[in-house]
Amino acid sequence: AQRVTQPEKLLSVFKGAPVELKCNYSYSGSPELFWYVQYSRQRLQLLLRHISRESIKGFTADLNKGETSFHLKKPFAQEEDSAMYYCALRPGNTPLVFGKGTRLSVIA
């Protein structure tokens, strides 16, 4: 079965500290993986997709097929990064399977 696991419900870091939001997935085929972000009272927005390999707002994520992980990283957290972050898997051309989300709180 396809599954996305985000082990941390809440992650608090100080401003300027490095951030790593963990995501592990379970899927036997070649997955497509995404990170979506939801700022307070706003819609889900695409942050990253693994095939584009770009850096958005300083965030990067590398797909590690051996560890079935797609952790989201940023070297220096900013206060405006505080939000809910969802890792999502799209197995083939099908609907997204979401993780439970991690709330990132950046403390000044």
* Chain residues that interact with other proteins, rule: CB under 8 A: 34, 36, 42-46, 49, 86, 93-101
Which candidate, 105, 106, 102, places its Cα nearest to that of 70?
A: 102
To other proteins, the closest distance from the beta carbon of 75 in angstroms equals: 25
Nearest Cα residue to 44 out of 53, 35, 52: 35
Q: How far is the CB of 107 from other proteins (least distance, A)?
A: 23
Cβ nearer to other proteins, comparing 32 with 77: 32
Query: Would you say 3 or 65 has its CB closer to other proteins?
Result: 3
What is the smallest separation between the CB atom of 93 and other proteins, expressed in angstroms?
Answer: 7
For the record, the structure tokens of 82 come out as: 């505080």
Query: Hey, what are 67's tokens?
Result: 């560890």
> What residue type is 36 in one-letter code?
Y
